[in-house]
A and B are shown apart, each in its own frame.
Chain A
Amino acid sequence: MLIVTCVKQVPDTTQVKVDPVTGTLIREGVPFIINPFDTYALEESLRLKEKYGFNVAVISMGPPNTEVTLRKALSLGADEVILLSDRAFGGADTLATSLVLAEAIKKLGQTQEVAMVICGRQTIDGDTAQVGPGIATRLGYSQLTLVDHIENVDLKAKTIVVRRRLEGRHEIVQAPLPAMIAVLREINRPRYPIVPMRLFAQDAPVTLWNNKVMGLKEDTIGLKGSATQVRKIFSPQREKGEIIGDGIKYPEAAAGLLIQRLIEKNILCL
Chain B
Amino acid sequence: MSLNISTIVFAAAIMLFCWSCYRRFRLLLIGKAEDRFKDAGRRIWSVLYYAFGQRCTVSHGYRFGWNHLVLFWSFMILLVANTEFMLEGLFPNYISFSLLPSSIYHPLAVLIEIASVLALLAVCIAITRRLAFPPKYIEARSRDAFIILGLIALLMLAFFGLHASKIAQGNEEAASYMPVSEFLASTFLKNGSPGSLNGYSEAFWWLHAIVLLGFLNYLPFSKHMHILAGIPNVFFRSLTKVNTQPREEFKKGNTYGVGKIDQFTWKGLFDSYSCTECGRCSDNCPATETGKLLNPRLVIHDIKVNLLKNGPPNRKETELPLIGGGKEGSISEEVLWACTTCGACMEVCPVFIEHVPKIVDMRRNLVEMSAKVPDELLSLFENMEQRSNPWGIVPSERAKWAALADVKTFVAGETQYLFYVGCFGAYDARSRKVSIAISRILNSSGISWGILGKDELCCGDSLRRLGNEFVFDRMVMENSKIFKEKGIKKIITQCPHCYNTLKNDYRQYGMELEVIHHTEFINEMIRSGKLKLNGTNDRGNLVFHDSCYLGRYNGIYEAPRSVISSVTGRAPIEMDRHNDRSFCCGAGGGRMWMEEGTGKRINVERAEEALKKNPATICVCCPYCMTMFEDGLKGIKADVQVLDLAEIVSEALK
Contact = CB atoms under 8 A, between A and B. Distances in A.
B386 A192 contact: no
Contacts of A14: 394
Contacts of B396: 15
Given A14-B394, A33-B386, A189 B378 contact: yes
Contacts of B373: 192
B375 A194 contact: no
A195 B250 contact: yes
Nearest to A202: B252
B250 A31 contact: no
B368 A195 contact: yes
A199 B252 contact: yes
A194 B371 contact: yes
B431 to A, nearest CB: 16
A240 to B, nearest CB: 18
Interface in A154-213: 189-196, 198-200
Contact of B394 (A15, A33, A195): A15
Given A12-B386, A14-B394, A15-B396, A198 B470 contact: yes
Interface string B303-337: 00000000000000000000000000000000000
B368 A194 contact: yes
B375 A189 contact: yes
Contacts of B255: 196
B18 interface: no
Q: How large is the interface on B (under 10, 10 to 19, 20 to 34, 35 or more residues)?
A: 20 to 34
Nearest to A31: B386
B160 interface: no
A192 B394 contact: no
Contacts of B251: 199
A161 to B, nearest CB: 27
Q: How large is the interface on A (under 10, 10 to 19, 20 to 34, 35 or more residues)?
A: 10 to 19
Contacts of B417: none
Contacts of A12: 386
B474 to A, nearest CB: 10
B264 interface: no
B369 A195 contact: yes
A192 B371 contact: yes
Interface string B213-257: 000000000000000000000000000000000000011101110
A91 B509 CA distance: 44
Contacts of A190: 378
Contacts of A196: 252, 254-256, 369
Contact of B378 (A31, A33, A192): A192
Contacts of B368: 194-195
Given A33-B386, A189-B375, A194 B252 contact: no
B9 to A, nearest CB: 56
A200 B252 CA distance: 7
Contacts of A191: 371
Interface string B384-412: 00110000001110000000000000000
A193 B371 contact: yes
A255 to B, nearest CB: 16
A199 B369 CA distance: 12
B50 interface: no
Interface core residue of A31, A189, A196, A198 (most chain B CB under 10 Å): A196
A175 B564 CA distance: 72
Contacts of B252: 196, 199-200
Interface string A12-30: 1011000000000000000
B551 to A, nearest CB: 32
Contacts of A195: 250, 256, 368-369, 470
A234 B255 CA distance: 50
Contacts of B256: 195-196
Contact of A194 (B250, B254, B369, B394): B369
A84 B381 CA distance: 29
B103 interface: no
Nearest to A33: B386
Interface string B457-484: 0000000000000100000000000000
Contacts of B470: 195, 198
A189 B379 CA distance: 11
B386 A194 contact: no
Given A189-B375, A194-B369, A196-B256, 9 more contacts: A190-B378, A192-B371, A192-B378, A193-B371, A196-B252, A196-B254, A198-B470, A199-B250, A199-B251
Q: Which 8 A-B pairs have the closest CB atoms?
A: A192-B371, A195-B368, A195-B470, A194-B371, A15-B394, A199-B252, A195-B256, A14-B394
23 contacts: A14-B394, A15-B394, A15-B395, A31-B386, A189-B375, A189-B378, A190-B378, A191-B371, A192-B371, A192-B381, A193-B371, A194-B368, A194-B371, A195-B250, A195-B256, A195-B368, A195-B369, A195-B470, A196-B252, A196-B256, A196-B369, A198-B470, A199-B250
